[in-house]
Amino acid sequence: MENKVFTHNGNSELGTEKISRLMFRLSVPSILAYLINVLYNIIDRIYIGHITEGGTNSALALTGLGICLPIIQLVSAFSAFAGTGGAPLAAIELGKSELDENAKKTAQRILGNATFLLVLFSIILTSFFLVFKLPVLTFFGASENTLPYADSYISIYLMGTLFVQFSIGLNPFITCQGHAKTAMISILIGAVLNIILDPIFIFLFGMGVKGAALATIISQGISAIWIVSFLASKKSSIRLNFSILKPDFNIIKNISSLGLSPFIMQATESAIFVVFNSGLKRYGGDLYVGAMTIMQSVMQIIFIPVAGFANGVQPIISYNFGAKKSDRVKEVIRKMLMVSAVMTISLVLCATVFPEIFSKLFTSNPEILSIEKRLLPVYIAGMWIMWIQNSAQTTFVGIGNAKVSIFIACLRKIVLLIPLAIILPVFFGVEGIFYAEPIATTCSALTSAVLLFMQMQKL
| pLDDT digits 0-9 by tens, 287-323 | 888 888 888 888 888 888 888 888 888 888 888 888 8
Domain containing 366 equals 16-458
Residue 1 confidence (pLDDT): 39
**d(C-alpha 239, C-alpha 427), whole Å:** 56
Looking at per-residue pLDDT, the higher value among 269 and 110 belongs to 110
pLDDT at 119: 95
Q: Note the pLDDT of residue 10.
A: 40
Q: How many domains does the chain have?
A: 1
Q: Which residue has the higher pLDDT, 106 or 29?
A: 106
State yes or no: pLDDT of 165 exceeds 90: yes
pLDDT higher than 60, residue 9? no
Would 11 be classed as within a structural domain? no
C-alpha separations of 1 from 98, 177, 179 in Å:
25, 15, 11
Nearest to 303, CA basis, from 146, 429, 412: 412
Tell me: pLDDT of 8 over 60: no
- Per-chain mean pLDDT for the chain: 85
pLDDT at position 261 over 90: no
Q: Enter the pTM of the model.
A: 0.71
**Three-state SS for 6?**
strand
Question: Which candidate, 113, 390, 120, places its Cα nearest to that of 255?
Answer: 113
**Cα gap 435→305, rounded to integer Å:** 24
Q: Cα–Cα distances in Å, from 429 out to 222, 225, 283, 344, 380?
A: 45, 48, 6, 30, 19
Note whether residue 7 is domain-resident: no
Report yes or no on 1 lying in a domain. Answer: no
Strand pairing partners for 12?
Answer: 6
Burial of 387 (0-12, 13-18, 19+ CB in 10 A): buried
Residue 330 has pLDDT above 60, yes or no: yes
For residue 99, pLDDT beyond 60:
no
Residue 6: inside a domain, yes or no? no
Residue 9 lies in a domain: no
In the predicted model, is pLDDT for residue 213 greater than 60?
yes
> Would residue 253 count as lying in a domain?
yes
Looking at residue 51, its pLDDT comes to 73
CA 20, distance to chain mean position in Å, is 25
Residue 126 has pLDDT above 90, yes or no: yes
What is the structure's pLDDT at 98?
58
Q: Is the dihedral of CA 446, 447, 452, 457 positive or negative?
A: positive
Any domain includes 391: yes
Calculate helix-pair angle for 19-48, 180-199, nearest 10 degrees.
Answer: 10
69 pLDDT exceeds 90? no
The answer as to whether 59 is a domain residue is yes
Query: Widest CA span of the chain, in angstroms?
Result: 66
Element containing residue 100 per DSSP (H, E) = none
Are 134 and 151 contacting, i.e. CB atoms less than 8 angstroms apart?
A: yes
Q: What is the mean pLDDT of residues 45-67?
A: 75
More confident residue, 243 or 368: 368
Average pLDDT rounded to a whole number, residues 406-420: 87
- Supply the pLDDT for residue 161: 95
Q: Return d(Cα 152, Cα 433) in angstroms, integer.
A: 28
Contact by Cβ (8 Å): 275, 413: no
In this predicted structure, what is the pLDDT of residue 409? 75
The H or E element that residue 207 is part of is none
